[in-house]
Amino acid sequence: MFLPCGYAVGKTLKAAFQVNLCSSKAGIYLIKKLPVGSGSSIPVKLVSVKAIEGIFCYNLGMEDCLFCKIIKEEIPSEQILETSNYVAFKDIHPKAPVHVLIVPKRHVEKPEELRPEEISDMLNGSEEIAQILGVKDSGYRLLFNVGKHAGQEVDHVHMHLIGGTPSKGMY
């Protein structure tokens, strides 16, 4: 199949791209190259390409991501809140009585790759989530584990909201 702009399956893209969901069930994304300097660069690898209604759509290899599957509702979760930027659901291995993961819908691996509106929505939404779960007044933690040494187990950035019990210090 002819790929526009010379992109090939298996090639890692390193320029700035606008990525739009084309088919949520298939994990297929539409990629549009952005002008130089108009966006951040996040390397993505093309896994497959498919023409849907005449538009070339690319599978970015995120079909194996646990959180992407939860976001696409391929895996069940106990969802607390959803916005256009994130989904918040209960952690299946909670470290406290209240342990929620706030996960951006766009697949990124590190907090610095989040767009300002995504991080703002996640932080502002955490107050509503804390209110829903009854820990707003007693207190809660917000944290990111970044990288394997910090305890990040899924390579899809996510923020933890933890509460419901007094904190025992920083660690």
pLDDT at 171: 59
The distance of Cα 123 from the centroid of its chain, to the nearest Å, equals 14
CA distances in angstroms from 142 to 44, 54, 69, 90, 121, listed in the order given? 28, 43, 23, 14, 14
Enter the tokens of residue 44. Answer: 């993505």
Other CB atoms within a 10 A radius of the CB of residue 79 amount to: 14
Q: d(Cα 140, Cα 126) in Å, to the nearest integer?
A: 10
pLDDT at 161: 98
Among 22-26, 111-115, 130-134, which range has the highest average pLDDT?
A: 130-134
- Options 99, 156, 158, 160, the catalytic residue: 158
Tens digit of each residue's pLDDT (9 = 90 or more) over 64-119: 788 999 999 999 999 999 999 999 999 999 999 999 999 999 999 989 999 999 99
Tokens of 47: 């896994």
Q: Give the angle 33-66-99 at the CA atoms, nearest 5°.
A: 115
- Report residue 62's pLDDT band, with 50, 70 and 90 as the boundaries: low
Q: Answer yes or no: pTM beyond 0.75.
A: no
Q: The tokens of 128 are what?
A: 């509503």
Percentage of residues in the chain with pLDDT exceeding 70? 62
The whole-angstrom distance between residue 7's C-alpha and the CA centroid of its chain comes to 24
Instruction: Supply the pLDDT for residue 64.
Output: 76
Give 2-12 pLDDT, tens digit per residue. Answer: 334 444 444 44
**SS3 call for 23:** strand
Confidence (pLDDT) at 169? 73
Q: What is the mean pLDDT of the chain?
A: 75
Check pLDDT > 60 for residue 127: yes
How far is it, in rounded angstroms, from Cα 5 to Cα 102? Answer: 36
Taking 80 as the threshold, does the pLDDT of residue 163 lie above it? Answer: yes
- Work out the pLDDT band at 63, boundaries 50, 70, 90: low
Per-residue pLDDT, 167: 85
Report the C-alpha dihedral over residues 49, 54, 55, 59, rounded to 10 degrees: -20
| Model pLDDT, residue 114 | 94
Q: Please check whether residue 125 is in contact with residue 132, taking contact to mean a CB–CB distance below 8 angstroms.
A: no
| DSSP for residue 111 | G
Tell me whether residue 158 is one of the annotated catalytic residues.
Answer: yes
